[in-house]
Chain A
Amino acid sequence: MSAADTTAAPATRAPSNSYWRLVFRRLRRNRPAMAGLVCLVVVILAAVTAPIIAPYDPMKVSLADAYQSPNAAHLMGTDKLGRDILSRVLWGSRNSLKTGFFAVLWGLAIGGVLGSLALWGGRIVDAVVMRFTDVLLAFPGILLAIGVISWLGRGDVQMTLAVGLSLAPIFTRLLRASLLSLQESDFVLALRSVGVPRRQILFRHMLPNALTPLIVQATLQLGTTILTVAGLGFLGLGPEDPRIPEWGTMLIEGAQMIQTFPHLVLGPGACLVAIVVSVNLLGDGLRDALDPRVRR
């Protein structure tokens, strides 16, 4: 009993250096998570260096080469305008990752503000904020983003704002719930009883603990967000300029021609799934590494 008790300590104490070292050690031992991380790093590198490594100009139309199946010159084949799909996938990943990343950040920002407001703004503010998140959550998944985009119009920034907003209620509730349970936890009570100042309790002890679930959730949401962004593109809400390579938009064309040219879906689809799988692997691994309770 006593042995088990002492080891629960890292979770209740403010995370220290050795705590994070333990987390990383666990993460390193989690092979699927490491595979996900490596894969993600490769994808990010590919996205960053797309202008250098992409074999063709992603916008260059060459009608003579339309609908080529994958071959030595075009590893993923070409689309209806003879554009190289691999190059478009590479360039498109820049857009996807950027939008996904900033949407999650934006969602975290709104969620952070609303969550703190709910916690420290008094009972009425809390009730209002919580009902507001209830209302936002009532529009499931992609629907809220569809509404916001058809309202704001199409474009990168609008897409980011719309998708980020639909993530906000998740982060709001998570932050509020974890801060609330920390506020009532024994270790905060203990800190208060020995006279540690409120500010220090909040910033040194509570926030770092509350961040843990937020980091995990944000990572897991990044995968969903990339899918949502592509899904919106698939519904025709992607970039207004059809020449810009965007995964969702590329997949519409693929879905329409699936009977004759499946390679239009295979290339971009496989890349999309690979990214989301690796993000989810990493997220699951992080969750297992950060939460001592799920260990056997």
Chain B
Amino acid sequence: MPRYILRRLLVSIPVLFGVTLIAFAFVRLLPGDPAVTILGERATPAAIERLRTSLGLDRPIWQQYAEYMSNLLQGDLGNSTITAAPVTKELFSRFPATLELSICALLIGVTAGLWLGRAAARRPGGGTDGGLTLLSLLGISIPIFVLGPLLQYVFGVVLDWLPTSGRINPRLFVSTPTGFLLWDTASQGEWGAFRDVVAHLVLPSVTLSMMPMAMVARMTRSSVIEVQREDYVRTARAKGVVPPRIARRHVMRNAWLPVVTVIGLQVGALLAGTVITETVFGWNGVGSLVVNAINQRDYFVVQSAILVFAVIFIVVNLLVDISYALLDPRISYR
């Protein structure tokens, strides 16, 4: 098992390396003079010269990359060309918002998806199955930028149950040391504010959870149906094992594997989905930072944010692969 984990870790090193290379190339290989493109036509020649030096554009490309990597490892991702603030600081201040949203969405999506998938697999081809299949198809087909506004309209305007924008009512003054508002309000015992934060979270996280929910439900359904047909499930029945235990120990234990893979991949879709969700719901996270940066041509911010998303995705999938070894004893021996 340790050897398997080590091997998996080694495989992800070249990928991490490649990801930084692409992020690096993204800025350095901008068409024309990168310094001019980044700062815009109206920048002063002095500013352009300064940027050119700090990017090291006069040096060979491999030296530039080495420099980029060494800065990266020290946590220096450059400065925003709009606010002049360090990109790292900007990312850090926005990150908790995105993480809070993503984790909520993932929890909702995976829990609901597993439940729906198992419900549908109980009687394949039956009425419940048909209905749920249609529902998950809809979940896959409805984009965030359609579902989000619709939910805003129904729950925010027509029913007026939930706030449609932001993370917390701006008139509530709570200190936010960690940036995770659920934690911050709960740890200070501000339960009124906590409820407000939860209310703000509902619509965006439900919107964002739709895709993972549908995908997890589909995979759970087909995986459970497949495992139910396996010979060892028949063996368990022949032994007289009671049905609930067969479902838990024999079916689900084996059905998990493909489902876990899908969850890992859906984390990627989720990260990408935050970009649009945050735009729709006025959520001050990394996603909306990226969108602003694109529109303002703030290349360093775009570069760094995309890099961060990619690294998270790689790490999550590494964890997924390691969890395989825990779920399936055959893997560590391969």
Q: Which residues of A contact B (CB under 8 A)?
A: 131-132, 134-135, 138-143, 146-147, 150-151, 223, 227, 230-231, 234-237, 248, 251-252, 254-255, 258-259, 262, 265-266, 269, 272-273, 276-277, 280-281, 284, 296
Query: Complex: how many Å from CA A273 to CA B314?
Result: 31
Decide if B145 touches A231 in the complex (CB within 8 Å): yes
Decide if B15 touches A230 in the complex (CB within 8 Å): no
Decide if B294 touches A237 in the complex (CB within 8 Å): yes
Known: A135-B18, A277-B138, A280-B141. A255 touches B149 (CB 8 A): yes
Decide if A135 touches B22 in the complex (CB within 8 Å): yes
Closest to A276 in B: B141
Query: Complex: how many Å from CA A143 to CA B290?
Result: 10
Decide if A146 touches B275 in the complex (CB within 8 Å): yes
Minimum C-beta distance from B2 to chain A (A): 23
Query: Complex: how many Å from CA A282 to CA B231?
Result: 32
Q: Which residues of B contact A (CB under 8 A)?
A: 14-15, 18-19, 21-22, 26, 30-31, 124-125, 137-138, 140-146, 148-150, 152-153, 156-157, 164, 267-269, 271-273, 275-276, 279-280, 290-291, 294-295, 297, 299, 302, 306, 309-310, 313-314
Decide if B145 touches A273 in the complex (CB within 8 Å): no
Closest to A139 in B: B310
Known: A131-B18, A142-B272. A296 touches B141 (CB 8 A): no
* Chain B residues in 8 Å Cβ range of A147: 22, 26, 302, 306
* Chain B residues in 8 Å Cβ range of A237: 294
Max chain B C-beta neighbours (<10 A), residue from A138, A251, A284:
A138
Decide if B306 touches A151 in the complex (CB within 8 Å): no
Query: Complex: how many Å from CA A230 to CA B302?
Result: 20
What are the 8 closest A-B residue pairs judged by CB atoms, nearest first? A140-B268, A141-B272, A135-B18, A269-B146, A276-B141, A258-B149, A138-B310, A255-B149
Query: Complex: how many Å from CA A248 to CA B279?
Result: 13
Across the A-B interface, how many residue pairs have beta carbons closer than 8 Å? 137
Q: Which of B15, B164, B295 contacts A236 (CB 8 A)?
A: B295
* Chain B residues in 8 Å Cβ range of A281: 137
* Chain B residues in 8 Å Cβ range of A146: 275, 290, 294, 302, 306
Kindly list 20 other residue pairs between chains A and B, CB separation below 8 angstroms, not including A139-B309, A269-B149.
A135-B18, A139-B22, A139-B306, A140-B309, A142-B272, A146-B275, A146-B294, A147-B22, A227-B141, A236-B295, A262-B153, A265-B146, A265-B150, A269-B150, A272-B146, A273-B141, A273-B142, A280-B140, A281-B137, A296-B124
Decide if B149 touches A141 in the complex (CB within 8 Å): no
Minimum C-beta distance from B4 to chain A (A): 18
Decide if A138 touches B138 in the complex (CB within 8 Å): no
* Chain A residues in 8 Å Cβ range of B156: 259
Decide if A251 touches B145 in the complex (CB within 8 Å): yes
Minimum C-beta distance from A177 to chain B (A): 14
* Chain B residues in 8 Å Cβ range of A151: 26, 30-31
* Chain A residues in 8 Å Cβ range of B268: 140-141
Query: Complex: how many Å from CA A139 to CA B19?
Result: 8
* Chain B residues in 8 Å Cβ range of A254: 149
Query: Complex: how many Å from CA A142 to CA B310?
Result: 12
CB pairs A–B below 8 angstroms (15 shown): A135-B18, A139-B19, A143-B275, A143-B310, A146-B294, A147-B26, A150-B297, A227-B143, A236-B291, A237-B294, A258-B149, A258-B153, A259-B156, A265-B146, A277-B137
Query: Complex: how many Å from CA A258 to CA B31?
Result: 38
Decide if A223 touches B294 in the complex (CB within 8 Å): no
Query: Complex: how many Å from CA A253 to CA B304?
Result: 29
Decide if A236 touches B294 in the complex (CB within 8 Å): yes
Known: A150-B302, A251-B146. A141 touches B15 (CB 8 A): no
Minimum C-beta distance from A70 to chain B (A): 15
Known: A131-B14, A135-B19, A259-B157. A143 touches B138 (CB 8 A): no
Decide if A272 touches B143 in the complex (CB within 8 Å): yes
Closest to B12 in A: A134
Q: Which of A265, A276, A280 contacts B149 (CB 8 A)?
A: A265
Query: Complex: how many Å from CA A184 to CA B150?
Result: 51
Known: A146-B306, A147-B302, A255-B148. A138 touches B314 (CB 8 A): yes
Max chain A C-beta neighbours (<10 A), residue from B30, B149, B152, B269:
B149
Decide if B15 touches A235 in the complex (CB within 8 Å): no
* Chain A residues in 8 Å Cβ range of B148: 255
Query: Complex: how many Å from CA A223 to CA B268?
Result: 18
Max chain B C-beta neighbours (<10 A), residue from A135, A259, A272:
A135
Decide if B269 touches A140 in the complex (CB within 8 Å): yes
Decide if B18 touches A134 in the complex (CB within 8 Å): yes
Closest to A223 in B: B141
Decide if B280 touches A255 in the complex (CB within 8 Å): yes
